[in-house]
Amino acid sequence: MLAAVRIAAQDIPSDEMPGYKSMNSDDLRGYEAVLTADSLEGRETSYPGQKRAATYIADEFRSFGLKPMGDDGTYLQHFDVILRKVDPASSLAVRAGDASTRYRWGDEFMTDGARDTTLQGPVVFAGFADSKVPTEDGVLDGKIILIFAGSRTAAPDTSRMQSMRRLFAQRRDRGIRATLVITDAEGAASFDAVSKIIRDFPPVRGRMSLVGEESRSRMTSAPRIFISPSLATSLLRAAGLTLEEARTSAQSSPTFAPITLPGVSVTLDSHMLQEDRSTENVIGTIEGSDPLLKDQVVVFSAHYDHLGIGTDGRIYRGADDDASGTSTILELARAFATNPVRPKRTLLFLTVVGEEKGLLGSKYYTTHPVIPLDRTVADLNIDMIGRVDPPHEQKGETQYVYVIGSDKISPELDSLLRAANAQTERLDFDYKYNDESDPEQLYRRSDHYNFASKGVPVSFFFTGLHADYHQPTDTPDKILYDRMLSIGRVIYATGWKVADFPRQLDRKPGGPAQ
């Protein structure tokens, strides 16, 4: 590995070489150790562990000599968020004929959104999330629909990732009051599994939004309610159906005639608790060397928040997601700061919070930039670069990185990135997730997207999902620091090329790539 680096590095301009060579995996390991420590408690946005992480990053920026670009001469850009979560006193009442049963939240049912609402309606079985149902006769209007999770064709796939897609797939029927989603009897899409997911994450821990920017669709769309198979069985009994008979009927054809469950109605009595909280991005800059171009910036970004502590007391350390990106930002900042020669444009190092809550920190920054976005040449975003994903592991491929978005707004950015890679680590660039039709839609799922939506050219660096994604088992002992270093060095060389480019990057006509 070291020999290969020495050979590759021969092509790097001499002005850039000291910082490039100074980057090392021991630094990355040290940053990871701090960011994933018990004392940081999983770095959940607005909680004490996240604030300790912000202080640590700011202290590192200060030690490198970066200029503080936060509030009041600090490195911290503060902003307020609203935390909304379900009141555990919320309930679901089921009436079947003359019998009525009330369930407390978490007992046979759970919602995935927090709201204050009381709604009631008759129940109609509508198949799967993708079953085509005739709507011209208004059969679903004002109804609470009952469906199996996900699509008909995906139903037999019980893998964890596919189970997550099935559970959270939504119908788009107009006029319905709510959707009851039948969970599996066992496995990753079972009621126990979804209960754990929701208890550890929103809405129990809370769904966050920027002040004044709560998603209207979340508040006005029909509630989605996950129910156990036993509760679904009691509902279907009114139509003379067993659970398996209903499943078989719904799977038999893509077109499904909804079945009204006679005498069955459901009443949801849901309540929301709300907290006002504060949090912060961390921002530092290295001023450019050119008297004119230093007014423009190249942004290096990563999110430093993660998921906190689960209800079982286990810490979600987020070693890959995204202590790996944050550690790389710190090492890039140190390398550029110690390099005797500086690039022509200013470099801005941005670690954002709230990514796990909906890209909140980057959204706040891009609406309150410390340097105007029309003077932001590009954003190089790093999220999860510490592991090898199963497809590459099975083929024995480790020296790769997924590149996402680099050609969508400015193909020139992609060209500079390829040139930097050719001069340095010569990694395999995998553009799989750059495909607009890819089901993971990762282009829209990390912080670069808020820059891209404003028309700033972006490149997102990522090494793939794995079994430890969003699990307490995402720990620093599993990080591959040498290959993480290789990716960081490519980003270093790319950032330099962008910062020294003689003009702003050409952009495709037609506006931002959405």
DSSP assignment string, 20-34: HHH--HHHHHHHHHH
pLDDT band (50, 70, 90) for residue 7: very low
Which element (helix H / strand E) includes 245? Answer: helix 243-251
- The answer to which of 27-36, 287-296, 311-320 has the lowest mean pLDDT is 311-320
Nearest to 470 by CA among 196, 113, 268, 92: 196
Cis? peptide before 322, omega within 30° of 0: yes
Contacts of 97 (CB under 8 A, 6+ apart): 238, 263
CA distance 385 to 328: 9
* pLDDT higher than 90, residue 97: no
CA distances from 221 to 117, 144, 179, 269, 360 (A): 12, 13, 10, 16, 21
Q: Is the four-CA dihedral 256, 260, 261, 265 of positive or negative sign? A: positive
* pLDDT higher than 60, residue 203: no
Phi, psi of 36 (to 5 degrees): -105, 10
Q: Report the pLDDT value the prediction gives residue 314, as an integer from 0 to 100.
A: 93
CA distances from 24 to 258, 320, 429 (A): 61, 18, 22
The mean per-residue pLDDT over the stretch 166-188 comes to 86
Number of Cβ within a 10 Å radius of residue 146: 27
Structural domains for the chain = 2-83+275-500 (3.40.630.10), 88-270 (3.50.30)
Asked if 61 and 329 touch (Cβ cutoff 8 Å), the reply is no
What are the tokens at 267? Answer: 């009443």
CA distance 294 to 29: 32
* pLDDT higher than 60, residue 220: no
Q: Report the pLDDT value the prediction gives residue 10, as an integer from 0 to 100.
A: 54
Number of Cβ within a 10 Å radius of residue 80: 13
Cα dihedral value 113, 117, 118, 121, nearest 10: -60
Asked if 344 and 81 touch (Cβ cutoff 8 Å), the reply is no
Residue with tokens 């590192």: 60
Beta bridge partners of residue 128, listed in sequence order: 148
pTM, two decimal places: 0.83
CA distances from 298 to 362, 372, 399, 496, 497 (A): 15, 12, 26, 9, 10
CA distance 490 to 298: 15
In the 8-state DSSP scheme, what is residue 203?
A: T
Which element (helix H / strand E) includes 278? Answer: strand 272-286
What are the tokens at 336? Answer: 């550029």
Asked if 116 and 85 touch (Cβ cutoff 8 Å), the reply is no
Nearest to 19 by CA among 31, 9, 29: 9
Beta bridge partners of residue 82, listed in sequence order: 209, 276
pLDDT: which is higher, 95 or 154: 95
The mean per-residue pLDDT over the stretch 221-250 comes to 92
What mean pLDDT, rounded, does the chain reach? Answer: 91
Phi, psi of 183 (to 5 degrees): -80, 165
The mean per-residue pLDDT over the stretch 93-110 comes to 91
3-state SS class at 421: helix
Q: Report the pLDDT value the prediction gives residue 234, as an integer from 0 to 100.
A: 93
What are the tokens at 279? Answer: 């949090």
In the 8-state DSSP scheme, what is residue 255?
A: B
pLDDT: which is higher, 207 or 425: 425
Percentage above 90 pLDDT, the chain:
73
CA distance 405 to 513: 9
Q: Report the pLDDT value the prediction gives residue 22, as an integer from 0 to 100.
A: 98
CA distance 382 to 327: 10
At 39-68, the pLDDT tens digits run 999 999 999 999 999 999 999 999 999 999
Beta bridge partners of residue 297, listed in sequence order: 346, 376
At 379-402, the pLDDT tens digits run 999 999 999 999 999 999 999 999
Q: Report the pLDDT value the prediction gives residue 4, as an integer from 0 to 100.
A: 38
Nearest to 445 by CA among 455, 429, 456, 434: 434
Residue with tokens 């029309």: 374
Residue with tokens 């910062």: 499
- Region of residue 317 (left: phi > 0; alpha: psi -120 to 50; beta: else): alpha
User: What is the separation of C-alpha 514 from the centre of its chain, rounded to a whole number of angstroms?
Assistant: 17
CA distance 465 to 488: 19
Q: Is the four-CA dihedral 241, 244, 249, 255 of positive or negative sign? A: positive
CA distance 403 to 409: 14
Q: Report the pLDDT value the prediction gives residue 456, as an integer from 0 to 100.
A: 97
Asked if 341 and 289 touch (Cβ cutoff 8 Å), the reply is yes
